[in-house]
Amino acid sequence: MSRATLVNWLLVLAVLVIAVIPLAFIGSETAFGGADGVAVERIEADHPGYEPWFSPLFEPEAETASTLFALQAAIGAGFLGYLFGALNTRRRLGRGTPAPAPPADPA
């Protein structure tokens, strides 16, 4: 097994671990509301008379918010995939290294 294949399998394993461990800790019986909901609950509990300074300009429905989040993730993944592909191609073609100096003239 080549080193590149080993690295690829280790990366796949790392992604699976990162995706599965939070789901194991959350459990299937709880609804995951995200950090925003927890922050609002915490602020209301700590400061009962707190009034927000402003309200959101756009508050999408759940499906729209989910779609926007998925779109954001897809754009980020596409950008990272392009970046890694371009860097890998540059490394493979040797453009990242300077050209060797021509031999000196013996005359």
Residue 104 in domain? no
- Sign, Cα dihedral of 35, 37, 43, 46: negative
**Are 81 and 44 in the same domain?**
no
Query: What secondary structure does DSSP assign to the chain, as a single string?
Result: --HHHHHHHHHHHHHHHHHHHHHHHH-SSS---HHHHHHHHHHHHH-TT---S---S----HHHHHHHHHHHHHHHHHHHHHHHHHHHHHHHHTTTSPPPPPPPP--
**Are 1 and 49 in the same domain?**
yes
59-76 tens-digit pLDDT: 888 889 889 999 999 999
**Are 30 and 76 in the same domain?**
no
Q: To the nearest whole percent, how much of the chain has pLDDT over 70?
A: 83
**Are 49 and 69 in the same domain?**
no
Residue 100 in domain? no
Specify the pTM: 0.47
Per the structure, the complete domain to which residue 91 belongs is given by: 60-95
Number of domains in the chain: 2
**Are 1 and 43 in the same domain?**
yes
Residue 105 in domain? no
| CB atoms closer than 10 angstroms to residue 12 | 10
Per the document, the length of the chain is 107
Q: Are 12 and 20 in contact (CB under 8 A)?
A: no
**Are 3 and 41 in the same domain?**
yes
Confidence of residue 52 (pLDDT cuts 50, 70, 90): confident
11-40 tens-digit pLDDT: 999 999 998 887 777 665 656 666 777 888
Q: Rounded to an integer, what distance in angstroms lies between the CA atom of residue 79 and that of residue 89?
A: 15
